[in-house]
A and B are shown apart, each in its own frame.
Chain A
């Protein structure tokens, strides 16, 4: 299996390696000081040496991202279901949802700190806010993706609204939902880190700030790598879940 993986992915692995080599050589040849840009070798060394610090700061960010992911998507899915079943409700609340989405997340963060304080709640809410909107829009589209003839079939079979929802609508929306969840799986990490920037003493976001202010570039780069690693793990988890849950192909995928 591993050899198959290499056979399939040797080209991108090769280009990545080449970028590291060029980066390392560039730093050495031009004598760039470490506080401006560290060589990859020193970043990797820091990854190993500072692993305790990195793990200690990784875990809070992981929990905040996960909690934000669950909260934001839960609210988005619930709202989407309400929108699809009640057009009045959609008219009343959709513009507000759009408005909330247009506020830059960096501008809301201080407001939330004032309200919810410096604790984990603020970070969770920011992470939730950032994944809320794409899921809302996609879920509404997914729930409405049922064809006109399918609706007629439901009527001929005298399906009740809830039967139609559970047997037909909800399943039809799953491919749309998972596209949104994949987006959310990476953006929730951004939300948590932004929350930590505004005020926190632990977490990858606060470590980024700390490393920057202390000119510890290798630690800063190592933290960036760990942050993106967290997003990748969440993305892969959602992708695997998608593949396990959706074994079918949508009718009109072509």
Chain B
């Protein structure tokens, strides 16, 4: 395990390197001295962060530390007060119109009158005014394939009220993937599910990450979930929301659930808990 303090200088260095080299792909997400304020309240302060293309970053922190706000900033849902935020080198509004990213909420937000497959297809029917800004491949990925990828073959025509909480969340993930996003933002997607379902979906999300090679930012309350999924864990502290540290998780992929019983896993878990308690 290596623990790395992520200072402002360090990220600036990588930024400059990108600029001078000119050939490197821009980071999936880049935050530069980013601030978010709601009225007088500072939700996020001085956030510096680069997330490489293809990375899996989990985000941990106490309640009210701005974990969700960070995802909402990246997805153009809350405006930036100061600093800079880019997604694949573009402004976030441009990235949104180009469907560079997709969002999975804690609530599955399925339309209850649409079947599973119709819900997955919703993004293809909405925002069509800007469809020309997206790559053509977008609508070719079939909704059936995606439902199969999340393990819901045969349930295409089920209405949301006929599906369990875990299944609904899997439909929501399939819907997020339909436009082949290069960045997937997940805000406590399994927070409302029972332990067993959550474990199963954790394994599934790693499989999806491997198959789609999409970058994932995953907010969670659960330390084991954060370690099990992420290549790195970003720790935020509260009042105001700031980066505490970024912890590398040196556990090999593919990871399976028993890895959570290993001494290495427990060591990281203990460390994160200590840090979290002082956040």
> Which A residues are within 8 Å of any B CB, using their own CB?
147, 149-150, 152-160, 163-164, 167-168, 171, 174, 246-251
- 17 more A-B residue pairs beyond the given contacts A147-B107, A150-B109, A167-B126, with a C-beta to C-beta distance below 8 A: A149-B106, A152-B103, A153-B105, A153-B109, A155-B77, A156-B76, A156-B101, A156-B102, A157-B123, A157-B127, A158-B130, A159-B126, A159-B127, A160-B127, A160-B129, A163-B125, A171-B111
- CB pair B109–A149 under 8 Å, yes or no, is yes
Which chain A positions have C-beta within 8 A of B72? 152
* Bound Cα distance from A164 to B111, whole angstroms: 12
Residue of B102, B125, B126, B161 contacting most chain A CB atoms (<10 Å): B126
Smallest CB gap from A152: residue in B: B77
| Nearest-Cβ distance from residue A193 to partner chain B, whole angstroms | 37
A interface SS class: helix
* Bound Cα distance from A160 to B130, whole angstroms: 10
Residue of A154, A246, A247, A251 contacting most chain B CB atoms (<10 Å): A251
- CB pair B77–A251 under 8 Å, yes or no, is no
- CB pair B160–A251 under 8 Å, yes or no, is yes
In the complex with contacts A152-B77, A156-B77, A156-B102, A163-B113 CB distance below 8 A:
no
Which chain B positions have C-beta within 8 A of A251? 110, 112, 160-161
In the complex with contacts A154-B126, A167-B122, A248-B160 CB distance below 8 A:
yes
The number of residue pairs between A and B whose CB atoms lie closer than 8 Å in the complex comes to 69
Range of interface residues on B (Cβ < 8 Å): 20 to 34
Which chain A positions have C-beta within 8 A of B96? 155-156, 158
- CB pair A158–B109 under 8 Å, yes or no, is no
Partner of B126, one of A147, A152, A157, A249: A157
- CB pair A167–B125 under 8 Å, yes or no, is yes
Can you show 7 pairs from A to B with CB atoms below 8 A apart? A152-B103, A156-B96, A158-B129, A163-B128, A164-B126, A171-B111, A248-B159
Which chain A positions have C-beta within 8 A of B112? 248-251
Asked if B97 is at the interface of the complex by the 8 Å CB criterion, the answer is: yes
* Bound Cα distance from A167 to B125, whole angstroms: 9
- CB pair A149–B107 under 8 Å, yes or no, is yes
Asked if B75 is at the interface of the complex by the 8 Å CB criterion, the answer is: yes
| Nearest-Cβ distance from residue A133 to partner chain B, whole angstroms | 27
Partner of B111, one of A156, A168, A247: A168
* Bound Cα distance from A159 to B77, whole angstroms: 13
* Bound Cα distance from A153 to B99, whole angstroms: 12
| Nearest-Cβ distance from residue B189 to partner chain A, whole angstroms | 12
* Bound Cα distance from A156 to B78, whole angstroms: 11
Which chain B positions have C-beta within 8 A of A171? 111, 113
Which chain A positions have C-beta within 8 A of B102? 156
* Bound Cα distance from A157 to B103, whole angstroms: 9
Which chain A positions have C-beta within 8 A of B76? 155-156
Partner of B127, one of A150, A152, A158, A248: A158
* Bound Cα distance from A157 to B106, whole angstroms: 17
Which chain B positions have C-beta within 8 A of A247? 113, 159
Which chain A positions have C-beta within 8 A of B97? 158
Partner of A248, one of B77, B103, B122, B161: B161
